[in-house]
């Protein structure tokens, strides 16, 4: 393999600076990448924002996809939003993808529905007979205060498995 004449610098180091990457949190969240006219280019989520965004900073010009190289050359600004955990980051990312449809994101830009299972135990005080009854419910929005909630499950198919 031929050695390059010049070692090209990743433009994110120049545009955003080392300080931007040093200050990034290591918690879960979503990030939004913007271009020259303030247009949204890309949305992503990660359980460790710093690690994910540092991976863009370390992109090499050899061996990287054309799409990734084009993206990093168009980024002028990155915003991030912290989320409670990886699951909430995934849900937030999917909301933004469907709403904003950034050009560098193709997957998950069509509507998907998230489902939750709720499990509620009724004791004998709530029943006329001395027994225990369990109510299992499949719902879009879990809002029963005394129920245990399991999910979110993407699409109805994942709930049937």
Burial string for 18-50 (b: 16+ CB within 10 Å, else e) reads: eeebeebeebbbbbbbbbeeeebbbbbbbbebb
Q: Which fold has domain 11-100?
A: GIY-YIG endonuclease (3.40.1440)
Burial of 142 (0-12, 13-18, 19+ CB in 10 A): middle
2 vs 67 pLDDT, higher one: 67
pTM summary value: 0.65
pLDDT digits (tens, 9 = 90+) for 63-121: 888 999 999 999 999 999 999 999 999 999 989 998 999 999 987 666 667 788 888 88
Query: How high does pLDDT run on average in the chain?
Result: 85
Q: What was the pLDDT predicted at 108?
A: 65
Q: What was the pLDDT predicted at 47?
A: 97
Is the CB of residue 152 less than 8 Å from the CB of residue 93?
A: no
Break the chain into its structural domains and give their ranges.
Answer: 11-100, 114-160
């Amino acid at each position: 393999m031929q050695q390059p004449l010049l070692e090209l610098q990743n433009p994110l180091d120049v545009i955003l600076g080392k300080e931007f990457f040093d200050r990034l949190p290591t918690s879960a969240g979503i990030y939004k990448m913007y271009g020259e006219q303030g247009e949204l280019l890309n949305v992503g989520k990660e359980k460790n924002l710093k690690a994910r965004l540092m991976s863009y900073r370390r992109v090499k010009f050899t061996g990287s996809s054309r799409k990734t190289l084009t993206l990093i050359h168009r980024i002028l600004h990155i915003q991030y939003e912290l989320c409670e955990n990886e699951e909430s980051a995934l849900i937030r990312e999917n909301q933004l993808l469907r709403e904003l449809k950034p050009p560098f994101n193709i997957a998950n830009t069509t509507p998907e529905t998230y489902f939750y299972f709720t499990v509620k135990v009724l004791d004998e005080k709530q029943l006329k007979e001395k027994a225990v009854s369990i109510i299992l419910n499949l719902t879009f929005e879990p809002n029963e205060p005394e129920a245990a909630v399991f999910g979110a499950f993407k699409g109805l198919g994942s709930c049937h498995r």
